[in-house]
A and B are shown apart, each in its own frame.
Chain A
């Protein structure tokens, strides 16, 4: 689905990503974990076309995403749920979802309504609040709305940037359960998270990013039991085990 080869990107003269390679297969949940400043958000910015890669290539379904503007990349089927949710506060829940289907404007009204119903089934709380302004939703509800909004574009690849930020632990659990449901519905997900434990529990595979390099790659179980990962990201002292 997504294939990144030897990607280099950064801001000005600062090289943040140093020859990164990773891939996401169709129907997989892949997580990218790493501490602050590791380059997670930079990687997303490069995939979504907000910054230009200086070397390497990004392929989505075999198409090169280089030289495409952000909106072009969304049209190719790559949707982002931005960090901090960024719902459209002054618009109601339904309008937020309709805007999510912006790239699907050729579909008829009936298909649009079906799409919205599908999201309501996935997140029943959004149906209850469909006429409410998005700014008045709780953090967890806003996260669900942001995810629903991105799904409205019927993306081939859904990218989630730190969906657990600023949410209560119980809500985080709920959000991650929904992510597993997304896979069952056949979606492909790239999950960027600081909350390594939660992310690895739902993901099939994971990559560990550190100061712009991928230092580890493997199945989620392997990473969860890896001592380095445990020490660095899961907050567990090695001696305890």
Chain B
């Protein structure tokens, strides 16, 4: 029960915030709040990887972009010229394709959003395993550098290919109908349902992750963070655990990318940028590394501030600065420090 108290609080807070925006007539807040919900999925996934398994990733914006770009591309690009190929013929038979018309009334062929979503997640899993198997043998800053390299490659690929819209990204992404009457889209009338959808997913993922970290698997992950060699000596397949955690957090980032792309109706290369990855890492650090709820709360607060433009054009600088300050003065995270002790430490250093 104690374990589920924060979850209940989260659900209550989500409902209260929605009601507040309704009563105060500030429903425009629901858009940044919905986007924040999806970014929170990336952040809690990264928190599982960094805080619990103790592995850093500076490439999570890359996984977010793989999900977002693939689903955007498959649901917007005309696949008609490829219709005769074996793979697409198979997709057609399985009912994964949808006939449409482009602006000039010419028949075009796109993939169903849920099929595109499936392909994007599958691609993420493949890429995450392909990257994770060699890279997770590294430790500390070598791991950080390797994942950073991965992030840069994804960013550059997104910029380089006309297929991905180069610097413009992909726009005109259709909504993602999940259930009758419920679609992931930026449609004005479905603002409330999308808000609840995003935060409902956050609550679901939090419930899964909280159960995971309190299970035998979670205990093994925390032990890996503490003493990897000794964990191995207890009979835990540490390499497999690290890899699977990496893939889980990559898939969460990818799902966030897919949903946010359908919600925004497009995606641009900035979502794949290095500063995005740094931002995710910074937020996890501010939340207190091994603190899923801390990461969620700090992520929500900072993302809303950022999306509402409170940091102006200094957005990236603010997150970089926060990371430095946190590492120096509050490595346990903002929610994990006692303020008086920190002040004492700072002043003692000054003497």
Which interface residue of B230, B234, B237 has the most chain A CB atoms within 10 A? B234
User: What 1/0 mask marks residues of chain B from 204 to 240 whose CB sits below 8 Å from any chain A CB?
Assistant: 0000000000001001101101110111111111000
A100, B234: Cβ atoms closer than 8 Å: yes
B229, A82: Cβ atoms closer than 8 Å: yes
Q: Is A90 an interface residue (CB 8 A)?
A: yes
A48, B226: Cβ atoms closer than 8 Å: no
Interface of B is mostly: helix
Contacts of B227 in A (CB 8 A): 86-89
Contacts of B222 in A (CB 8 A): 88, 90-91, 95
Which interface residue of A50, A71, A105, A149 has the most chain B CB atoms within 10 A? A71
A102, B220: Cβ atoms closer than 8 Å: yes
Q: Report the contact-size class of chain B (Cβ under 8 Å from the partner).
A: 10 to 19
Question: In the complex, A10→B227 CA distance in Å?
Answer: 24
Partner among B216, B220, B234 whose Cβ is within 8 Å of the Cβ of A74 = B234
Closest Cβ of chain B: how far from A99's Cβ, in Å?
5
Question: In the complex, A146→B220 CA distance in Å?
Answer: 16
Contacts of B226 in A (CB 8 A): 87-91
Closest to A90 in B: B226
Closest to B240 in A: A71
Contacts of B234 in A (CB 8 A): 74, 79, 99-100, 102-103, 149-150, 153
B223, A70: Cβ atoms closer than 8 Å: no
B233, A48: Cβ atoms closer than 8 Å: yes
A90, B235: Cβ atoms closer than 8 Å: no
Q: Could you list which residues of chain B lie within 8 angstroms of chain A, going by C-beta atoms?
A: 216, 219-220, 222-223, 225-227, 229-237, 290
A and B contact pairs by CB, cutoff 8 A, 14 listed: A48-B233, A69-B237, A71-B232, A82-B233, A87-B226, A90-B222, A90-B225, A90-B290, A99-B219, A99-B223, A99-B234, A99-B236, A102-B216, A153-B234
Extra 5 A-B pairs, beta carbons < 8 Å, given A88-B226, A146-B230: A86-B230, A87-B226, A95-B219, A99-B236, A102-B216
For the complex of A and B, the 5 pairs showing the least CB-CB separation, nearest first, are A74-B235, A86-B230, A88-B226, A103-B235, A86-B227
